[in-house]
Every structure is written in structure tokens, then in C-alpha cells.
Structure 1
């Protein structure tokens, strides 16, 4: 009964968002959050005070994706109204007018680099508007970018899902993390031989993709080969190294027309954008990547300055909790309603103020933007956030309630995970990645999925006599492929593109490559375990 009731809100959510006359996410997500709220107290008998504190924690935590999405929208409105996007479109069309090549350069290689530097769902939010600006249909772009943003995720945000998400487990040190990363890179590599091609067919005709298949695989391999090689030596930078290498090589292959079909009557478009003009116009993009890398590479020592929680001001809000502010502008609320529930917002580290708002402000100055352009950017980006705010608030409350457990009552996520493992038994190796995907579906984060299910996967592997490091690599790869179907990632990319009530439509389509991805991981993982 506990398993059925744990699954009920999830099944209901998927039904509401994917049925013929679908319910928009800004209505469906708050509804299922309310249902789960009632179940937590009425059936699971969790203390009301703790449930209410978790709701507050979820509402506050939603500020993270809300601010990131708004920042991404603001950045691209800035690029549009300062003319920077027109210059970039002209340059890209000068490199190639081939839609398959453009999709691989922006949606695959560039997004690969952004994932390696940032994570937080920013790759789709940054790549998707560029492709729409190149003439791609918005809904198809959303699907393509969500599917593509899976392969680099284990090493996303400079390897956070691995070294933080799995590094908390007892017995998992640097050598184990390196081995997990090596295995995860091979699993992702094998899936990448199929999944990006599927992604392209959602955005373009199969005939068009087939004609340019040589280029597609050159672009795929230009990212994934360096990815696997880098993973042999490091568990933080493979996605950054692979994304940068793949972006340069993909653009080179496209410009030289290597692997691209030549159309009848095709006329090469002269690239009329000078290098200085391109550098200036692309400043919002390379400036964003530069700040993300500088603030996330721990060897540079900048990150601790941005995430320090040492308070400079503390205020008691009575039974509501204890509010504090640190020198790094980390805003924290602890002991909500006298419980262990807490929240922190890293103002300078979350990719919103830095880099999106800072870079946008600098771009206004660099391009001598008129006041009307600035006002339009601000007003349109705020207007575009109205419905997504409701959806994201509902999503994060729902996620926090699913993950809420006590010493007496297991979290719904744990109940579901154990039930799945028990049902699969010795065949678990074929399904381990789907538990990782389920975690990402709940939370929108490979890191959170690993934190939630890493211990369960480790225990299952030990009980079944399977190699724990292989199973943990499958768990983390699953968390990456789960990005395709994660509700709050789907809401985020729809918000950036200004799409309304398309979340269910997108979910039904991204589910297909996610299942294919898991099947490939299951087969390759089986071979690894047998070896």
C-alpha cells in the first residue's frame, strides 16, 4: 500500500500532463504537491510540523531554478535587443547553413561545454534560444536540447554529480571516484552512438539527418572520444575538455563541409562577420562560460569565497526559524518550525546574478543599449516568468515531500527504490540506471539522484554480489539520462522559449530516448559486470 500511494501522485502527474487535453504544469504540479501533502499526514503519519517545514523549504528552494531561468531569459533578451544575436546568426549561417550541422554545433557540442562548466539545467536554457533564432521550431528545439543534455552530465558542473553526489558514500574515495567516472564515460559513450541521432530526428526529418550522418558522427566522436580519454585521468573536467574540443572540431568540420551533404543549387553564404565583431557579439556567451569556469574550478580558489556560510548577520524569526546572511551573501534559514529543515541560497554561486545578470549588464554597456531596449528586456523577461514560477514552486514542494523521511517513516523515493529493486531481483543490473533516472525525474539533478539512491544502489550491489562501482556508475549515468524527462527541466526550457502548455507533449517524446538510453546502459553494464 505504501508503494502504491508513493507512486500515485507521480502517475497522476504524468497522466495529467500527457493526456489528450493535458493540464498545464503550473496547475498539475501544485495539485499533486497538495495531494502528496495530504498523504504525508493522513497515511504516512509524518508529523504535521515537519511536513509544513518541508513545504516552506520547497517553496524557498524553488528560488534556485526560478532565478536561473529568469537569468537565462534575461541574457537572451539582452542579446536579442542589443543586436548581438543577429551577428551570431549571421556568423553561424556563414559557417554553415546546414540545419543538422547547426543543431550539432549548438545543441550538442556547445551544450556539452556549458554542462561541464555549470550544470543546473543551464545548457538547454542557453542553447535552445540560439537554435530558435536560427529558424528551428521552438517545441522541437526544446526536445532536442533536453535529449542532448544527458551524455556530459556525470561530469557536469565540474564533476559535481560524481565527487559530491557519490563521494559521500563510505568507502568511496578518489580512486573509486576515478573508476566510477571511467565506467560512466564508457556507458555514456555507447549511448551517445545512438541517442543524439534520435534527438536530431525530433527536430529535423530523418532523411535530412541520414544524408548528413557522417558529420553527425564526427561531431559526436569529437566530444565523446576526448570525454573517455579525459575520464581516465580526472573525475572533474572531462565534460569541459570534451565540450571545448568538440565545439572547435564540429565548427571546423562544418566550415570545411566534411561529412555534410551538398544540396543541388547550393550557394555558399559568405561569412561577412569579422573576428572582432564576432568576439564582441558573442561576449554574452563566452563571458558566461568564462565566469562559470572561474567560479567552479576549485584549484583557482574562487568558489570558497562565493559559498562561505560564516554569518555576518543573524536574526531569529521565532518559531519560523533562524535567518542569517554570510559575507558571501549566502542567505540561510535554518530550524524551520523548530525542525531540521533548512534552506540556503548561494547568491553569488547559483548561475543567476553571476553570470547572467552581470554579463547582461556589461553587454548593455558594451553595445551602448538604448533605455528602451533595457526596459523591454526587463519587462518581457518578467512577464515570461509568471506561469513558470507557479510550476516551479509546485515542482520543488512536490520533490521535497517525496524525499521527506524520518527515522520511523521512509521517504517515498526510498520506498519506490526498494520496491523496484525487490521486484527486479538478480536482473537489477539491467534496471539500475532507471532508478537513477527516477531520481533525476523527481529532483531535476543528477547530484541529488546520486545522493538519494547511491546508498541503495551500493547496498543492492553488495547483496547481489555485483561490482558496486559499476552499479554506481550506472546509477549516475541514469541520473544524466533522467534530465530528459525531469519535469522542472522541461518547465525551465519551455519558460525560456516562451512555450505554453507543451510540457506534457515534450515529456511523452523525451521518454522514448530515455528508455533507449537505459536499455543501452543495461546491456553495456551487463558486459562490464560479466568481464
Structure 2
């Protein structure tokens, strides 16, 4: 089978996902089972993988899915617990008296609080929490949604306490083979993953600090009475201050602690810095800005559905420190579990390990429920039950709402993650071919050569667009991106040899 045909077959599942999800508008719960079936068929008949290995890869994907769902459940459960305890209502109330300037409100609530919710919960919750909060404070619904969507940028790679890295890359790369090479060069997998975390944090920080500027300028230009860029520019000093207040601790925690922390602690520290500064008027524009009266808004700014803060419990006043305490506990316990060798060893020592699934060498998996962020989040939920003097019925309601989200996400992931594991594990086959991601990578490296890095970010964006999830995009495309980089590295090293004068040579990748 030619390399071009291999690459086409290997790319077919991703292409089918794009056609079904984007072209035909199929819901993911219909599209991903079809994509999984196609992947399994290509593995069995194109790559001649044994049925036992395909089944073992599927089971491995199912175990990984449980890890993902455990984190999602913990993150969403804490959010819903605070909703029913009155915590979110108290946090909302705390934002209402900071500044009457809508630009300042947008920066603090949409940017900093939105980034915090992304770091703590991920999976679309910033738009679900921050946008209705803005609407309740008098923002047009369309403007609130736009700001909520713009938050889905800098904090996303470390959203839901680092899930895109912890799961997306951990399970999206062929960690076994990479670890062998790392050990041979005096390193290990944990250091390699931390290096990726550091690079991602630095790259996002270098660009992310400008996001609040774009947010306020878009808001004043398209939703202001005067449709003015200039009115947005007046808030640039404060917006840059807020951007740096988030991205500097974001980058430092990524460098020093790990993937669980940049978005969570970056936003928490940013809020602690920016909110008091705004209250005393630091860098706040002298002239306050507001939207035109609501009666003058175009109908399309609101739509036909009224957005409300459904279910935010106002049952009793809750002190602001109590409302924030659960998230502070999450941050503290996560740091402690990652920097304390004894605690880390204890929590990881309670992991459940599968061994070689169905006897397939190298196809193993493990779950450490107490070490994963999900375990810490659930523990904090139990503490919150007592700290906020909740009723049992309120906790039951939070668990019920979170479970519904879990089942919805779980059904799709139970097909998506096994599909990814089949792709990665396809390197062991009867046709003696490289794994599917490596086949795609080799073809791309040979075809595009040194210009490919120019398109790498677009490939990642495509994955997120198709999957609707940074975590799933990382799982689908990480091994492919790694393979292209490795192939291009081999080409570069080959051309540095004294006996190779042909700059177009690609034989080293064959």
C-alpha cells in the first residue's frame, strides 16, 4: 500500500467526522459511533490489526473515558453545588458594585471570572455561567454571548483543572514508545509532559494578555450607542493590566507547578489583584461607559429567548469568603497533592491498574481516582456541604444535574476515545505498516516539508472545531503532530550530512 493511500485511509475517520458534524449537521451522539465503526474497519482490513487488539484498544479507550468523566463530574458537581448553596449568587452579588463602567465589568466578569470558571470546570461552563451573569447585570444577550465565547481562548488548554493536558496529551500520545526514547536520553515522561505544559503556558501568555483589549473594543464598536472603537481604546490601560494580572501568574504556575494550575490560579490571583484595583479606580477610565437604553436595542441583540440565571439559589445570604472558599480549597489541595511527594505517592498508590488488556502487550491503563482532579473536587464538594450548611435535598439536586451532563458527554466519549486508541495502537499489525497517525505524519512531512509548521496551529484549530473540545482534539491529533515534527526533524538531520547535497531529498522518511 502506497504511503499516500495509507495517509488517506488513516485520515478517513477524521474526514468522516467533519462531514457528519459540519456538513450534515449530525449530532455527535450519532456521528461518533459511525466514525468509530469506520476506524475499526480500517484497522481490521486496511492495517490488518487483529480483532483482539482492536477490542483491547476499545476497552483501553473505555477506561480512559472513565478518567475523563470523573474529572468532568467533579468539576460540574462543584459548580452545581455552589449554585444550590447560594455560592454563585453571592459571587454574582460581589461583582455588582465594583464599577458602573460596562467595560470594567466585562473585563472582570467575562475575562477574569470566565477564565476562572474555565480553569475550574471547563467544558463550556464559562459561557453558561458568565454570559447569563452579564445579562442579569444589564448586558445585551448577544454581547454577553460574544464575550463568553471570546473567553474560550487563553485558559482553554488548561481548562477543567488541566484535562486537555492530563488526559488529552497523556492519552493522545503513544506514551510507551516515547518514554523508551526519553529514558534512553536520561529523561522521563513526567518531565516531558511538564515541558509541554511550560511551552503552552508561555505561548498562550505571550498572546493572551491582549484578549481583554479585544473584548472591550468589540463590545463598544458593535454594541455601543456610538459604534466606536475609540471608546474601547479608552479602557485599554485597564484591560492590559487585567490581561497581565492573569497571564503572568498563569505562565509562572505552568512553569513551576503543572497543567492543573495555570487557568485556575492565574484567574484567581488576577481577580485578587484587579478587583481591589478597580474599586479604587486604578487605570479606570475617567468617563464611565454604558450601553444605550434597552428600549433602543435591536431585537436581534436579545433574540426570542430570555436568558435567566436559572437555579441560582438566593435562599439565604452567604458571605463572599464562604462562596469562594471551595475553589480556594480546590487550588490548595491540588497544589499540596502535586508538590508533596508523600501525599502524591499515597494518592497514586491507590490507583487501579488493568495490566495488559486481553493479553495485548503495551495496551494497559490505570485510574487514580483520588489523585485525579475529580477526586479532589468531589472531596471539596463534601466539605462545601457542611461549610455552606446545605440541605441533603440541595446536594441531591446538584448530583442529579451533574449526572445528566455526565451521561450526555459520556456517550459521545465512549466512542471517541476508543477510536483514538485504535489509531494510536495500530502500529502493531499484520500489514507491517506504521500506525495510522504516523502514516499521515510521514506523508505530510514528505509533501509539505519545512513549510508545514506554518499550518500546525490551523490543524489544531480544525480538531477543536470538529470535536468541540480541546481535550478530544488533543487526543485525536497529538500523535499525528508529534509524528510530523519527528519526521521533519529526521529530514533536517539527514540534510545536515556531508554526503547529501540534494535539498529536495525525502528518502530518510521512507
User: If the length of structure 2 is used for normalisation, what is the TM-score?
Assistant: 0.69
Q: CA deviation at 1:421?
A: 2.2
CA contact (8 A) 2:438 2:483 kept: no
CA contact (8 A) 2:127 2:149 kept: no
After superposition, residues 109-148 of structure 1 pair within 5 angstroms as 109=112, 122-123=121-122, 127-135=126-134, 143-148=149-154
CA distance in 1, matches of 2:239, 2:342: 38
Q: 1:224 aligns with which of 226, 247, 254?
A: 247
Partner of 1:364: 385
| 1:224-276 Cα deviation digits (max 9, x unpaired) | 34566788x8585993775554333332343344345612699xxxxxxxx99
Q: Which shifted more, 128-137 or 362-371?
A: 128-137
CA distance in 2, matches of 1:183, 1:79: 34
Q: CA deviation at 1:216?
A: 2.4
Q: 2:336 aligns with which of 288, 294, 304?
A: 294
> Is the counterpart of residue 460 in structure 1 residue 488 in structure 2?
yes
Q: Which shifted more, 339-348 or 449-458?
A: 449-458
Partner of 1:380: 401
Q: CA deviation at 1:49?
A: 0.7
CA distance in 2, matches of 1:172, 1:224: 32
Q: 2:35 aligns with which of 32, 35, 42?
A: 32
CA distance in 1, matches of 2:28, 2:216: 26
* SS of structure 1 residue aligned to 2:289: coil
Q: Pick closer, same or farther for the CA change 1:179–1:87 going to 2, 3 Å.
A: closer
CA contact (8 A) 2:108 2:275 kept: yes
Q: Pick closer, same or farther for the CA change 1:65–1:420 going to 2, 3 Å.
A: same
Q: CA deviation at 1:152?
A: 6.2
| 1:50-81 Cα deviation digits (max 9, x unpaired) | 00111111122111222222222221221111
Q: 1:281 aligns with which of 323, 331, 345?
A: 323
Equivalences, count: 429
CA contact (8 A) 2:424 2:436 kept: yes
Partner of 2:359: 338
CA contact (8 A) 1:106 1:130 kept: no
| 1:409-444 Cα deviation digits (max 9, x unpaired) | 322222222222222212234234456667886853
CA distance in 2, matches of 1:293, 1:158: 18
> Is the counterpart of residue 252 in structure 1 residue 276 in structure 2?
yes
CA contact (8 A) 1:76 1:129 kept: no
> Is the counterpart of residue 350 in structure 1 residue 372 in structure 2?
yes
Q: 1:64 aligns with which of 25, 50, 67?
A: 67
Q: Pick closer, same or farther for the CA change 1:381–1:11 going to 2, 3 Å.
A: same
CA contact (8 A) 1:151 1:192 kept: no
Unaligned runs of 5+ in 1: 267-274, 309-327, 467-531
Partner of 2:502: none
CA distance in 2, matches of 1:456, 1:98: 48
CA contact (8 A) 2:33 2:415 kept: yes
Partner of 2:348: 307
* SS of structure 1 residue aligned to 2:152: helix
Q: Pick closer, same or farther for the CA change 1:262–1:220 going to 2, 3 Å.
A: same
Partner of 2:208: 192
* SS of structure 1 residue aligned to 2:373: coil
* SS of structure 2 residue aligned to 1:22: coil
Q: Pick closer, same or farther for the CA change 1:24–1:158 going to 2, 3 Å.
A: closer
Unaligned runs of 5+ in 2: 136-140, 293-316, 495-510
Q: Pick closer, same or farther for the CA change 1:434–1:82 going to 2, 3 Å.
A: same
User: If the length of structure 1 is used for normalisation, what is the TM-score?
Assistant: 0.67
CA contact (8 A) 2:78 2:381 kept: yes
* SS of structure 1 residue aligned to 2:49: coil
CA contact (8 A) 1:6 1:416 kept: yes
Q: Pick closer, same or farther for the CA change 1:219–1:183 going to 2, 3 Å.
A: same
Rg larger in structure: 2
CA contact (8 A) 2:164 2:471 kept: no
Partner of 2:8: 4
CA contact (8 A) 1:87 1:278 kept: yes
Q: Which shifted more, 196-205 or 338-347?
A: 196-205
Q: Which shifted more, 98-107 or 391-400?
A: 98-107
> Is the counterpart of residue 13 in structure 1 residue 17 in structure 2?
yes
| 1:281-323 Cα deviation digits (max 9, x unpaired) | 21222122222222223x5542221112xxxxxxxxxxxxxxx
CA distance in 2, matches of 1:41, 1:16: 23
CA distance in 2, matches of 1:293, 1:365: 23
CA contact (8 A) 1:72 1:126 kept: no
